[in-house]
């Protein structure tokens, strides 16, 4: 073998090795998943009819922004009644206090009047709170995701009128096989790819399931064991770049090239 032939064979082997490595990288499909979010549901304490909506789906709200109003006739009537009871309790207390000072009344009578007055005051505060809660305000900042009841519709107690999606509540869900679990830890960064998305999207793992989503029979073969998959959840670094329900591909190594899925 001449020296030129040896150099040629060495170059050929090196090229084949590089090509094989490139093909292995290109075949790396990552893991499929999707985008979800933990919604915040806003609901009235008591049943009623929605009288006003201050927002529309897609609106961005801040903490304390008005969202909706529910009819308050019953709560207003209750407040008027408790205020009347308070006024009577105040009169009884004033009279009992005056009589006690002149020696005509007893301490027991005064103590009873004080107790009744405090109860009446507490009931007024409760009525005022019930009335105030007929209006819904944003408990968090975020985007109005969905409205479930419109103006004129009856909503039951504790049933949400609408849902809000805070940006920080967006999450990615994907599944990995059992063999990949040793490579993952809470706090690890992964790369996220999706159609028409930015190339620099990443996410941080915050949840790793301790039990498999698919459980084969108690006695199983090595082939069936490979079917075990575990749920992983991660928070995206740029939630504004993703949409709920959007399919994604997740790469455990942020430097892994995006797979060619054509």
Tens-place pLDDT, residues 182-197? 888 999 999 998 888 8
- Residue ranges of the chain assigned to CATH 1.10.287: 72-133
DSSP the chain: --HHHHHHHHHHHHHHHHHHHHHHHHT---EEEEEEE--EEE--SS-EEEEEE---TT-EE-TT-EEEEE--HHHHHHHHHHHHHHHHHHHHHHHHHHHHHHTSS-HHHHHHHHHHHHHHHHHHHHHHHHHHTTEEE-SS-EEEEEE---TT-EE-TT--SEEEE-GGGEEEEEEEEGGGGGG--TT-EEEEE-TT--TT-EEEEEEE-SS-SS---SS--HHHHTT-EEEEEEEES-GGG--TT-EEEEESSTTSPPP---
Where does residue 67 rank: exposed (0-12), middle (13-18), buried (19+ CB within 10 A)? Answer: buried
Looking at 36-40, 220-224, 254-258, which range is the least confident one? 220-224
Residue 210 has pLDDT above 70, yes or no: yes
- Tell me the CA distances in angstroms from 114 to 92, 103, 110, 119, 141, one per residue in order: 9, 17, 6, 9, 44
Mean pLDDT over each residue of the chain, to the nearest integer: 84
Residue 23 has pLDDT above 70, yes or no: no
Above pLDDT 90, what percent of the chain?
61
In this prediction, residue 259 has a pLDDT band, given cuts at 50, 70 and 90, of low
The structure tokens listed for 69 are 């109003």
Classify strands 247-251 and 142-147 as parallel, antiparallel or unpaired: unpaired
Per-residue model confidence (pLDDT) at position 217: 47
- pLDDT, tens digit, for every residue of 106-149? 889 999 999 999 999 999 999 999 999 999 999 999 999 999 99
Per-residue model confidence (pLDDT) at position 243: 87
pTM of the full structure = 0.71
Domain over 30-38+167-251 is classified CATH 2.40.30.170: yes
- Tell me the CA distances in angstroms from 89 to 20, 43, 111, 153, 191, one per residue in order: 90, 35, 12, 39, 68
Per-residue model confidence (pLDDT) at position 224: 54
Residue 254 has pLDDT above 80, yes or no: no
Residue 215 has pLDDT above 60, yes or no: no
Q: Using CA atoms, how far apart are residues 124 and 188, in angstroms rounded to an integer?
A: 53
Angle at alpha carbon of residue 212, lines to 208 and 217, rounded to 5°: 165
The residue-averaged pLDDT of 224-246 equals 84
CATH topology of domain 72-133: Helix Hairpins (1.10.287)
Query: What count of Cα atoms within 13 Å lies in the side-chain half-sphere of residue 190?
Result: 31
The residue-averaged pLDDT of 155-175 equals 94
| Number of Cβ atoms within 10 Å of the Cβ of 251 | 19
- pLDDT, tens digit, for every residue of 45-77? 999 999 999 999 999 999 999 999 999 999 999
Per-residue model confidence (pLDDT) at position 257: 56
- Residue ranges of the chain assigned to CATH 2.40.30.170: 30-38+167-251
- pLDDT, tens digit, for every residue of 71-99? 999 999 999 999 999 999 999 999 999 99
């Amino acid at each position: 073998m001449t020296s030129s032939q040896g150099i040629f064979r060495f170059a050929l082997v090196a090229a084949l090795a590089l090509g094989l490595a490139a093909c292995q990288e290109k075949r790396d499909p990552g893991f499929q998943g999707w985008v979800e979010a933990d919604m915040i549901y806003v609901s009235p304490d008591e049943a009623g009819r929605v009288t006003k909506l201050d927002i529309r789906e897609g609106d961005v709200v801040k903490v304390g922004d008005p969202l909706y109003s529910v009819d308050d006739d019953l709560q207003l009537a209750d407040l008027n009644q408790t205020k009347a009871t308070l006024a009577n309790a105040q009169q009884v207390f004033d009279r009992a206090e005056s009589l006690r000072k002149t020696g005509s009344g007893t301490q027991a009578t005064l103590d009873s009047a004080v107790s009744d007055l405090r109860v009446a005051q507490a009931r007024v505060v409760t009525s005022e709170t019930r009335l105030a809660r007929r209006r819904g305000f944003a408990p968090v900042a975020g985007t109005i995701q969905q409205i479930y009841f419109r103006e004129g519709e009856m909503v039951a107690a504790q049933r949400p009128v609408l849902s809000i999606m805070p940006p920080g509540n967006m999450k990615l869900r994907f599944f990995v096989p059992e063999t990949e679990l040793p490579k993952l830890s809470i706090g690890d960064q992964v790369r996220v790819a999706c159609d028409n998305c930015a190339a620099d999207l990443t996410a941080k793992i915050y949840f790793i399931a301790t039990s498999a989503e698919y459980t084969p029979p108690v006695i199983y073969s090595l082939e069936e064991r490979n079917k075990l998959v575990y749920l992983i959840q991660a928070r995206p670094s740029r939630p504004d770049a993703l949409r709920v329900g959007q399919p994604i591909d997740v790469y455990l190594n942020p430097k892994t090239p995006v797979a060619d899925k054509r």
